[in-house]
Every structure is written in C-alpha cells, then in structure tokens.
C-alpha cells in the first residue's frame, strides 16, 4: 500500500499552450476585447504575467521604443478613413 502511494506522480503545475492559442489570446487583447488580467481569468491561464510575456513575444507593440508597430488597417477602418476624406473634399 505504501509503495502504491509513492509511485503516484506529482501533478505538474506548469501548462503548455499551443502557438495558435497564444496568438488568439494576444489578438483579443490587442483588439481591445479583453484586458490582460481578464484574458488570464477567461482562459484559466495561471498568471497574467504569462499573458504579458505572450504580448511581448507575439504582439504588435514595440516594447523597446514603446510604440505600436504599423498594423495593417482592417477594411472597416479603411472605409471609414476614405469616407472622412470624401466628406472633407466635398466641403472644399
């Protein structure tokens, strides 16, 4: 009986997350849908510092110069920008 208890494995506390999962979480945060701590809670990630590490590694923020990298604009953003330019030109 004692040998049986000793042979039980110790549960590992560190989790491995897939690359796709990490990118998904980072994307949600960068779109403004979730904050760092909220994302950690939502997905059961052990610590918000884990998510911060993913943002540093996979995100579109330049941590050295503390500025966002040029992100491609979505179709909605481009459309809105063009509509504003048209309105401005019509006023002239």
pLDDT value, residue 49: 93
The fold of the 14-91 domain, in CATH, is Arc Repressor Mutant, subunit A (1.10.10)
> How many residues belong to the chain?
92
Residues 6+ apart with CB under 8 A from 46: 13, 15, 40
pTM of this structure: 0.56
Q: What is the pLDDT along the chain (92 residues), one digit of tens a residue?
A: 455 555 566 655 677 899 999 999 999 988 888 889 999 999 999 889 999 999 989 888 766 665 555 666 677 778 888 888 888 888 87
Q: H or E element: which one contains 53?
A: helix 48-58
User: Residue 86 and residue 78: Cα distance in Å, rounded?
Assistant: 12
- Helix or strand (DSSP H, E) at 80: helix 75-91
| Distance, CA of 54 to CA of 71 (rounded, Å) | 18
pLDDT of residue 20: 92
Of 63, 70, 64, 17, give the one whose Cα is nearest residue 44: 17
Q: What is the CA radius of gyration of the chain?
A: 22
pLDDT of residue 60: 81
């Amino acid at each position: 009986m004692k040998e049986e208890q000793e042979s039980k494995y110790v549960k590992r506390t560190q989790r491995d997350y897939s690359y796709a999962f990490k990118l998904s979480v980072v994307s949600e945060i960068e779109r403004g849908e979730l904050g760092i701590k909220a994302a950690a809670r939502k997905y059961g990630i052990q610590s918000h510092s884990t998510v911060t590490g993913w943002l540093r590694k996979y995100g579109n923020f330049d941590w050295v110069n503390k500025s966002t990298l040029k992100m491609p604009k979505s179709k909605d953003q481009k459309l809105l920008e063009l509509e504003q330019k048209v309105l401005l030109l019509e006023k002239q």
